[in-house]
Structure 1
Amino acid sequence: MVAHLQQCIVLVWLLAAIMWTSAWWPHSPFVAAGGLLVLSLGHAVFLALELMASYHVSGRDPLSRATVMQCVRAWLAESRTALQVFCWQQPFRSSAVPDHLPEGSRHRGVVLIHGFLCNRGFWNPWLRALRARNHAFVAVNLEPVLGPIERYVQTIDEAISRVTAATGQPPVLICHSMGGLAARAWLRGADATRVHRIVTIGTPHRGTWLARFGRTASGRQMRIDGEWMRQMESECGSTRQVPFTCWFSNCDNIVFPTSTATLPDADNRLAPGRGHVEMAFVPGLRQQTLALLED
């Protein structure tokens, strides 16, 4: 569903760009080029506003705030990465790398869980790396897209069972953003020995300031000090049953203040100066995460 929605958005954008350019170029190439630039970089304006909010709100956080130069670098990288992910990988390449479940594999398997308004295409670089190492993996699609986080538990449970059946070992869960909360929702009612480790990348473990503007079921659940978050905090003992590695950034434009992406007693790792989406595409972060499969 997300792929079809994003395909429509990209095609409408292309149509708008063609119509604007065709209408204005004969009269004013300058206006035509300016409008095309606005259409191409409009998303960067929203990302800049998010990063400014992150910088301001994180100033009161216990963890140190990013520098202005780190924020500028993160904005440029996030603007480029967001286009690649939301205009190409997810709309048109979500099935490019199918799930890989080799029988009798001796390597530990992986379940990959994407975040809000994403799909399995988000993980394509990870899937290619796992395929090259012959690790079994399943990358899920969380649907319904705008549903409550608990609705994803069954999908995650089935993926864990499939990977375990292929390898005979508990898999590692690798989660981006809201996907980490979905993994924790699964963990609340599951046998913790069924997974080896949970890795989260930019997950709002204690909510995010931006969620105050959320109107979807899952968006409301991610509000700081909201009812759902308080319930998760009261049951945080479940997170101690499984080793957690939590990647977080001081330039996260979606999950902030900075410390909200960490967990007590977890292996919390800083990815300095990285945006929310970009964080998952840092080669060093990916390499360090995949190294955990050998633990």
Structure 2
Amino acid sequence: MNLQQLRYVITVAKYGTFREAARQLYMAQSSLSSSIKDLEEEYGIQIFERSKKGIEITKEGAMLLEFADQIVAQADQLDYRYLSATENRRLFSVSSQHYDFASEGFARLVSEKKEESLNFRFLETSTSKVMEDVRDAVSEVGFIYLNDFNGKVIKQYLEAFDLKFDPLIVFQPHVFLSEFHPLAKKERITQEELHPYPVISFDQSKNSTLQLMEESIQVDQNVQRISASDRATVLNLLSVTNGYLVGSGLLKSNTQDHIVVVPMDVDQKNTIGFIYSKVRPLSAISKRYMEIVRELLEGDQRIELTDHID
């Protein structure tokens, strides 16, 4: 077994066919198939079931894929730290659900520390990937949220991954809308009023449960859904459609042109917090980043800033 074979398995699982995976890897399909067959023979398992209709990953293959994701992520992290860096620069990395304040705080950190020997990386990704990134040391700090609906499931992940949840803010759900949306001028919005309109959401990883969605309220599953993986696309969708996004209501950067934020008429508290490893001590740069984020959020009337947990 070698790392390249594990990367091949991950790519085939991602794209669903050997043909497309080979195209993405810039290699012959026969070479890709042969390499994975060698891995299957080495471990005595079948990773993919092949048929004229395509491929499906087997139960054994799915288990191997979990290990492959972790091993490749850790190997990539070693490369980032020791091979890709220049002038012995260290890497500070953050993984987050799609929060404007997290990226704005990150930009302020980079500006403040631009003279230091550091490389910086900010990853906006799915809920499960945030937790996996911090577990695997791809990132030192992450952001997720908890509430009564998702809390039990998220806490199970955190416990299994040896991660600590450090509460940052408590917020009530808010609706992000275009300033031209029919509901944009309301003081508060009910869930019933949102029902005729499509919900815009951030795309999650394959097979994610409802508890891993980023929506802070449970949205009717029968309404039209539009999803995207990045904030820029979501903001564009909000600007040109009658869709809406449910979130914290916090916009701290200059991305809010033509977007309004209206509180929801629901009695529900949600807590956004930092996550980090229980077994790896936080670096000084991580602690400074967390301070900057707290300073950024101080005084915002839409949230309750929590006390830091040492």
TM-score (norm 2): 0.30
Larger gyration radius, structure 1 or structure 2 = 2
Structure having the larger proportion of residues in strand: 2
Higher relative contact order (CA 8 A, sep 6+): 2
TM-score (norm 1): 0.32
Structure having the larger proportion of residues in helix: 1
